[in-house]
Chains A and B, each alone.
Chain A
Amino acid sequence: MKLKQLESLLGGLQQFPNPKMELEQYPTGPHIASRMLYTAENSFGDVSGKVVADFGCGCGTLGLAAALLDAEHVIGLDIDSQSLEIASLNAEDLELDIDLVQCDIRNLGWRGQTVNTVVMNPPFGTRKKGADMDFLFVALKIASQAVYSLHKTTTRDHVKRIASRDFSASSAEVLCELRFDVPQLYKFHKKREVDIAVDLWRFVPQRNH
């Protein structure tokens, strides 16, 4: 599938009608989502034929992108039932199969090494401090092959240090820096649109964990 086609399909997905501020809900735009998964597959072979989990899947954008790029099995996890319902509808619209689980990522009990790749656009931790690293911690425990994640560029050194030193990632690489537009979703946003510099990371979990 061509990148433009992927981006276009993702652009047609339904998103949060009433995003919940306390969960830092906002859509992962089709531009970023398509590039993220395209890179994961074409540069690293982490998607096609693999089991992919989307942590904090929201309306399912990243997970569905993985399915469109021929992931063998996709699992979407999110704490919010309304988002999961939308994710379910989106999957139906695209005639794709994705397993959904409602859970708090910090309390997720997961057994075995069945997930190859985790893709995620986790909360940045602006509402619930440390949420971004909570997600990364669990992702590195569960993924057997790779974790793709978005984190604010301002946290780059922090993320690298924690991932390598505390979470024992065997590698932590910034693949590229992106600009994320967070449209004015919440009333307290003063500007119409805010551009946030965001790093796309690829982490490799500790070997034989």
Chain B
Amino acid sequence: MLSCNIKGVTNGFPLRIEAEKVVEKQVDFNADFLKNMFPKIEWKALVAAAKSMGYTDLPDQAESSMIDSEEFLKKFHHALLQLHLEEGALICPETGRRFPVNKGIPNMLLHEDEV
């Protein structure tokens, strides 16, 4: 959900992911939560992000009828909550500016001239 907010950038979302180290976490599956989140997620961005982290099982397109399928929800769950970028970078799609990620924490601080 993070986007690039450098002065002048009109389309700083989605940030591309440069994955150096990806960790898979164990998160309890909560179907209601997932069904609730589904309409709030920009699906294409999620698919691209998941692919960058090595997960290619998400369907390229998704529509709300799919949330009735547990199989689909499990994949959604995995991509949304269990894939974790530990080391790498987030990259502004417009300027190429790299926001490094270390120990799972992205550094989104802007330089003075970017504000």
B110 and A81 contact, CB distance less than 8 A: no
Assess whether B3 is interfacial by the CB under 8 Å rule: yes
Q: Among residues 35 to 92 in chain B, which have CB atoms less than 8 Å away from a CB atom of chain A?
A: 37, 40-42, 81
- Mask: chain A, 84-109; 1 = CB below 8 Å from B; 0 = not: 11001000000001011111100111
Number of residues in A with C-beta < 8 Å to the partner?
25
A112 and B106 contact, CB distance less than 8 A: no
Contact among B42, B106, B109 with A111 in the assembled complex (CB-CB below 8 Å): B42
Number of residues in B with C-beta < 8 Å to the partner?
27
> Within the complex, what minimum Cβ distance (angstroms) separates A74 from chain B?
12
> Within the complex, what minimum Cβ distance (angstroms) separates B17 from chain A?
14
Assess A103 versus B108: contact at CB under 8 Å? Given A72-B33, A110-B3, A111-B13: yes
- Mask: chain A, 10-37; 1 = CB below 8 Å from B; 0 = not: 0000000000000000000000000000
Task: For A171, list chain B residues within 8 Å (CB).
Answer: none
Inter-chain CA distance A110–B25, complex, in Å, is 23
Task: For A81, list chain B residues within 8 Å (CB).
Answer: 105, 107
Inter-chain CA distance A110–B40, complex, in Å, is 13
A49 and B32 contact, CB distance less than 8 A: yes
Assess A84 versus B105: contact at CB under 8 Å? Given A73-B81, A112-B41: yes
The residue in chain A whose Cβ has the minimal distance to the Cβ of B39 is A113
A112 and B110 contact, CB distance less than 8 A: no
> Within the complex, what minimum Cβ distance (angstroms) separates B45 from chain A?
9
> Within the complex, what minimum Cβ distance (angstroms) separates A89 from chain B?
11
Task: For B1, list chain A residues within 8 Å (CB).
Answer: 110-112, 114-115
B interface list, Cβ under 8 A from A: 1-5, 12-14, 25, 27, 30, 32-33, 37, 40-42, 81, 103-110, 115
Known: A49-B30, A102-B108, A107-B5. 19 other contacts (CB 8 A): A73-B81, A79-B109, A81-B105, A85-B103, A97-B27, A100-B105, A101-B108, A102-B106, A104-B108, A107-B115, A108-B5, A108-B108, A109-B5, A109-B12, A110-B2, A111-B3, A111-B42, A112-B40, A114-B37
